[in-house]
Amino acid sequence: MSAIRLLRTVSVAAMSGALLFSGPSFAQDGASGQEIPRYSAPGGAPMSFADLIEQVSPAVVSIEARGASDPRGVPDMDDIPPQFREFFERFGGVPGQGQRPERRSQGSGFFISEDGLLVTNNHVIEGSEEITVSLPGGDEFSAEVVGTDAETDIALLRVDGEGRDFAYVTLDREPGIRVGDWVVAVGNPFGLGGTATAGIVSAIGRPLGEIQLYTDFLQIDAPINRGNSGGPTFDLNGNVVGVNSAIFSPTGGNVGIGFAIPSDLAARVIDQLMDGGEVRRGYLGIAPQSLTAELAESLGLNRSQRGVLVAEVIAGTPAAEAGLQTGDVVIRIDGRRVEDQRGLFQRIGEMPPESEITLTILRDGDEEDVTVQLIERPAADTPDAPSGQADERLFGMILSPADEDTRERYGVTGDRGLVVNSVSSNSEAARQGIRTGDMIVEAGGGDVTSVADFNAAASAARERGRNALLVLVARQQGGVRYVALGFDNED
């Protein structure tokens, strides 16, 4: 009969009894009496997350959004490329043809007030007709949309609890989070309610290229999966430091690289949604270009000079009225350095319309200050997009050509692909499930490498008498699917 060895923990203290030893404690083997080293957790690492999870979990909810798919969302057999048409014909046609299937999505969210305000991702609820919020105890409530912001993937909902006080958590407006700090994610992956995972912050200020121009994400390795979208990431004090939004995965499952919208950014967006149901962003009116070493040298500047080159000044905009010129280099906004094009996007976008700002520019090698009064960003324009990189809003989308790095992340070969920079709520693209960050690879059966290609494919489909444009959509999380965008509902 094998021996059962019971371990007895022995406390180790300094002789004075006033200072506990910070090294290993010891346990005794119950059979041999031999002391076995037993290392305690390093400073800052909790032995258990149980108290924290017990405190915050009541505020975390499951969200189910339903919406009917438009019949035009089912492609005509003639629109299917020949290489796939035989497969569909052999097995009875395109799935869902002739039906109006229900579109359903699941995600997570969390209350931020006791009277029923809650936060989730825009992509969880966009295009929905009915939203159901399920509390940890099983109670269900209908929710209405207060406001959404596709550019940061934030949605604010309200639940009518008929006088009920909901448990809620607080967004940290000045997070002091650092790389290596512990974080805990709570949500409902794959519909498994009340799941908690822990990890560390892997990176701060992580950009995801053109997918989210206004967001530099927290990268975390706390496992998050499908259904965690919109759920909170907590620090060890129980404050929300991030809103889970995306994962990087070649398989579609967790590989330890997740992305959360920082809580300070989320809080600023939510403030605007509470105030007016929408986010208003400043608009300058230039086509910017990050200043490379080669461009700096060609302008007679030091190769190490950082800033944003003005490639074009758009007529009738604040930039034009303030006298900005092609070839100017913006180096500071209100005294704060601007390092690149992305930084300019975010700084201008953070500022309310009608704000008066001071741009410090380099013109012919000399510094000048220029005062500019911003206006609200036009709905049909990208924020100061480079010339040729954007076009009018198409089916509710703003598109721009994908670069090589972006295509590699999506697994798209060749030089094809248009990134969806934003999608208007209630647009045809939103109704068909296209969301910010998707990539359109084909339109009308052919590859697209520019917005002009997309326009040409749409025109050709109209000339053929089609009711919709068939597009092939790729997602960063993996997978491709065909979507038919109906012309009757085109924006």
The residues annotated as belonging to the active site are 123, 153, 229
CA distance 270 to 149: 9
Q: Are strands 468-474 and 480-486 parallel, antiparallel or unpaired?
A: antiparallel
CA distance 457 to 434: 18
Q: How far is CA 363 from CA 301, 309, 327, in A?
A: 10, 10, 7
- The token pair that represents 344 in the structure block: 């300019």
Q: Cα angle at 427 between 423 and 430, to 5 degrees? A: 60
Contact 61, 135 (CB under 8 A): yes
C-beta neighbour count of 370 within 10 angstroms: 17
Residues 6+ apart with CB under 8 A from 434: 397, 420, 423, 440, 473, 483
DSSP for residue 179:
T
Residues in the chain: 491
Phi/psi for 329 (5° steps) reads -120, 115
The type of residue at 437 is: G
Contact 5, 29 (CB under 8 A): yes
Sign of CA dihedral 447, 450, 456, 461: positive
CA distance 368 to 210: 30
Contact 212, 194 (CB under 8 A): no
CA distance 254 to 182: 18
Report helix, strand or coil for 265.
Answer: helix
Q: How far is CA 332 from CA 370, 372, 377, in A?
A: 11, 13, 20
Residues 6+ apart with CB under 8 A from 66: 102, 103, 104, 128, 129, 130, 131, 132
Contact 370, 358 (CB under 8 A): yes
- The token pair that represents 49 in the structure block: 């997350």
The type of residue at 205 is: G
- The token pair that represents 486 in the structure block: 């109906």
DSSP for residue 182:
E
The type of residue at 70 is: D
CA distance 437 to 264: 22
Q: What share of the chain is helix, strand, coil (3-state, %, to 5)?
A: 20, 35, 45
